């Protein structure tokens, strides 16, 4: 299985083009007003119009209601809906069935026991994203530039039977190679780690991140 690379929180054409040209597999668009990476539905549609299927579109939502998800699915037509809030497995299953779109479910990780939450989503979500659990009281559930102890994921696929997952949280061009070598994650996701400031993606950092991830993938092959 080839490594999946996801660039999340894209808001500008240069960032989008950099991600696609550098070979990103997935590009995330954030539909969460509290985030500095938030985009309007019309803005996301316009921004993604030129993607031409070169990368999969991911719509990130946080504890969204049916109305928002319906609008996103009908107008934006994402390949994935990323549920990055406190959505229980029942809610994930409901959305997946109701709207017929694959679900990427984020799980916050800070200690070994957090990984036990994954079991409830197996067979419900189509892919799992392991992200650093935000600090208590944080406004954002992700994109905070925090990393968790990657050694917690040792043997994760074998232990859980989950082979489709992404590693996220605190990744950047300098450490993504080591993260891949250490965890053997089948995919990586980055947002703040390729920014110059919150919400401001760096074209150079996006290219460097994807290149570093691919080099690490080649070394593991």
- Report the run of H or E that residue 82 belongs to, with start and end: strand 80-83
CA–CA dist 130, 14 (Å, integer): 27
Q: Based on the number of CB atoms within 10 Å of its own CB, is 78 exposed (0-12), middle (13-18) or buried (19 or more)?
A: buried
CA–CA dist 48, 76 (Å, integer): 8
CA–CA dist 135, 128 (Å, integer): 21
Structure-token match 């067979």, residue found: 123
Q: Based on the number of CB atoms within 10 Å of its own CB, is 35 exposed (0-12), middle (13-18) or buried (19 or more)?
A: buried
Catalytic residue among 131, 149, 189, 218: 131
Nearest to 151 by CA among 172, 130, 137, 136: 130
**Is 131 an active-site residue?**
yes
> Within the chain, how many helices (H) and strands (E) appear?
8, 10
Residue pair 80/101 in contact (Cβ under 8 Å)? The answer is: yes
Q: Which residues pair with 6 in a beta bridge?
A: 26, 189
**Is 21 an active-site residue?**
no
CA–CA dist 196, 172 (Å, integer): 12
- Catalytic residue IDs: 8, 131
């Amino acid at each position: 299985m080839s490594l999946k690379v996801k660039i999340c929180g894209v808001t500008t054409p240069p960032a989008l083009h950099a991600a696609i040209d550098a070979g990103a597999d997935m590009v995330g668009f954030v539909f969460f007003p509290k985030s500095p990476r938030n985009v309007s539905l019309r803005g996301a549609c316009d921004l993604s119009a030129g993607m031409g299927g070169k990368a999969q579109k991911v719509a990130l939502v946080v504890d969204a209601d049916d109305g928002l998800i319906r609008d996103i699915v009908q107008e934006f037509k994402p390949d994935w809906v990323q549920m990055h809030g406190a959505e229980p497995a029942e809610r994930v299953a409901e959305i997946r069935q109701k709207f017929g779109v694959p679900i990427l479910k984020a799980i916050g990780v800070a200690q070994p026991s957090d990984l036990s939450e994954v079991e409830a989503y197996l067979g419900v979500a189509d892919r799992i994203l392991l992200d650093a659990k935000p600090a208590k009281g944080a406004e954002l559930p992700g994109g905070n530039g925090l990393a968790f102890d990657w050694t917690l994921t040792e043997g994760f696929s074998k232990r859980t039977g989950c082979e489709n997952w992404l590693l996220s949280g605190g990744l950047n061009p300098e450490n993504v190679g080591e993260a891949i070598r250490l965890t053997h994650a089948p995919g990586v996701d980055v947002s703040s780690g390729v920014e110059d400031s919150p919400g401001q993606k760096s074209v150079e950092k996006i290219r460097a991140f994807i290149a570093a991830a691919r080099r690490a993938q080649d070394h593991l092959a």
